[in-house]
């Protein structure tokens, strides 16, 4: 049996909480590098994704939802990317030096707002070629959420799909993945800059969701109605846009979208939780590597500015926000 390799580094910098609360609870601390079990890998983190769920976790939402007693200091960060620094004795998919990205919700051994983190082998994947560390770090949670939603919708080759929130973290990835699955994509973006971003993704049609002409453009795109919709942002504009979906159409949205979509007529509507797995990562990588793929990073912050990075989530931005360890 392969022996577990041990981390050479004993301590690390990490953004950790001593209590749940607001952005002021995010403090730089020196903590021990977490130990690995036989089925785990140690990652030397180079970048971490910053998502709205990080704020929920910072306030104690995930531990309450899961029913787990929190252990402080508590390190945030659901997804990130870096270099494998050590592997457990049962690990056979990775070796030291591999470039990997990973996602773990409420990791009991600490998240990615740190110089090192430990994850189960099945929660990690080799980084698709041509992606930078920052892009790979920002990718997994949103990309898995997008792909799970497309799978739930059961898109068939040539069907039409509305992506509402197409310039956001999940949405701009969903547009590209849906195109790779053979769908015709009608994208509803946020602002003129959002429209410009989505046009770069070679979608079939894109409209500014802040305007009044969404339904007119949608009817031109699909006169008989759009087959399906993936909704990543809720509200009155979303519900109006959903009137462009066929009466027998399908709608999917990830849990956490608020307010929840309320279509103007009866149709199949499914909410879901994103679930990462080895098979999902493999499918995701195949789709990404099929051609040029954009993971848009709006802003990056150094690790010690994690609080500012989380505050930036509440301001208009496109794509993703990331932290770097430097």
Evaluate if residue 114 carries a pLDDT over 70: yes
Average pLDDT (111-136) is 96
Would strands 184-189 and 116-120 be described as parallel, antiparallel, or unpaired? unpaired
pLDDT tier, 208 (very low <50, low <70, confident <90, very high otherwise): very high
Q: Which CATH superfamily is domain 142-272 in?
A: NAD(P)-binding Rossmann-like Domain (3.40.50.720)
Report the CATH fold assignment for 11-139+296-324. Quinone Oxidoreductase; Chain A, domain 1 (3.90.180)
| DSSP designation for 168 | B
Q: Copy the structure tokens of residue 205.
A: 């049609």
CA distances from 176 to 81, 143, 166, 183, 250 (A): 21, 10, 10, 10, 19
Evaluate if residue 2 carries a pLDDT over 80: no
State the pTM of this model: 0.94
pLDDT at 67: 85
Read off the pLDDT of residues 276-312 as tens digits, 9 standing for 90 and up. 899 999 999 999 999 999 999 999 999 999 999 999 9
Average pLDDT (222-241) is 95
Mean of all residue pLDDT scores within the chain = 94
Evaluate if residue 275 carries a pLDDT over 50: yes
From CA 59, how far away is CA 48, in angstroms rounded? 19
Query: CATH 3.90.180.10 in the chain, residues?
Result: 11-139+296-324
pLDDT tier, 64 (very low <50, low <70, confident <90, very high otherwise): confident
Read off the pLDDT of residues 149-203 as tens digits, 9 standing for 90 and up. 999 999 999 999 999 999 999 999 999 999 999 999 999 999 999 999 999 999 9
Read off the pLDDT of residues 4-63 as tens digits, 9 standing for 90 and up. 666 678 999 999 999 999 999 999 999 999 999 999 999 999 999 999 999 999 999 988
Query: CATH 3.40.50.720 in the chain, residues?
Result: 142-272
DSSP code string of 13-55: EEEEESS--SGGG-EEEEEEPPP--TTEEEEEEEEEEE-HHHH
Evaluate if residue 1 carries a pLDDT over 50: no
Evaluate if residue 134 carries a pLDDT over 70: yes
Average pLDDT (219-239) is 95
pLDDT at 212: 76
Residue 280's nearest CA partner among 122, 100, 161, 130 is 122
pLDDT at 264: 82
Q: Copy the structure tokens of residue 189.
A: 């973006």
Q: Copy the structure tokens of residue 101.
A: 């990205």
pLDDT tier, 65 (very low <50, low <70, confident <90, very high otherwise): confident
pLDDT tier, 266 (very low <50, low <70, confident <90, very high otherwise): confident
């Amino acid at each position: 049996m392969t022996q577990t390799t041990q981390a050479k580094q004993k301590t690390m910098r990490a953004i950790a909480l001593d209590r749940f609360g607001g952005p002021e609870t995010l403090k730089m601390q020196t903590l021990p590098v977490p130990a690995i079990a036989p089925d785990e890998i140690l990652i030397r983190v180079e970048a971490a994704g910053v998502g709205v769920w990080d704020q929920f976790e910072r306030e104690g939402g995930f531990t309450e939802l899961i029913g787990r007693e929190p252990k402080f200091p508590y390190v945030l960060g659901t997804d990130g990317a870096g270099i494998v620094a050590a592997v457990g004795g049962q690990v056979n998919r990775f070796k030291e030096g591999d470039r990997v990205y990973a996602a773990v919700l409420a990791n009991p051994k600490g998240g990615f707002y740190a110089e090192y983190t430990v994850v189960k082998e099945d929660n990690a994947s080799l980084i698709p070629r041509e992606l930078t560390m920052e892009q790979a770090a920002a990718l997994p949670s949103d990309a898995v959420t997008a792909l799970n939603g497309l799978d739930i919708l059961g898109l068939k080759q040539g069907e039409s799909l509305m992506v509402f929130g197409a310039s956001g973290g999940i949405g701009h990835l969903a547009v590209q993945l849906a195109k790779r699955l053979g769908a015709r994509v009608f994208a509803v973006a946020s602002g003129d800059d959002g429209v410009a971003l989505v046009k770069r993704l070679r979608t079939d049609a894109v409209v500014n969701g802040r305007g009044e002409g969404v339904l007119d453009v949608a009817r031109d795109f699909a006169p008989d109605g759009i087959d399906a919709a993936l909704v990543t942002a809720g509200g009155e504009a979303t519900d109006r846009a959903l009137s462009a979906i066929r009466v027998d159409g399908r709608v999917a949205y990830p849990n956490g979208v608020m307010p929840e979509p309320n279509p103007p007529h009866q149709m199949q509507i499914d909410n879901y939780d994103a679930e990462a797995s080895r098979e999902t990562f493999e499918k995701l990588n195949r789709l990404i590597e099929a051609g040029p793929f954009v993971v848009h990073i709006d802003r990056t912050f150094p690790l010690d500015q994690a609080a500012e990075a989380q505050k930036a989530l509440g301001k208009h931005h496109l794509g993703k926000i990331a932290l770097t360890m430097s």
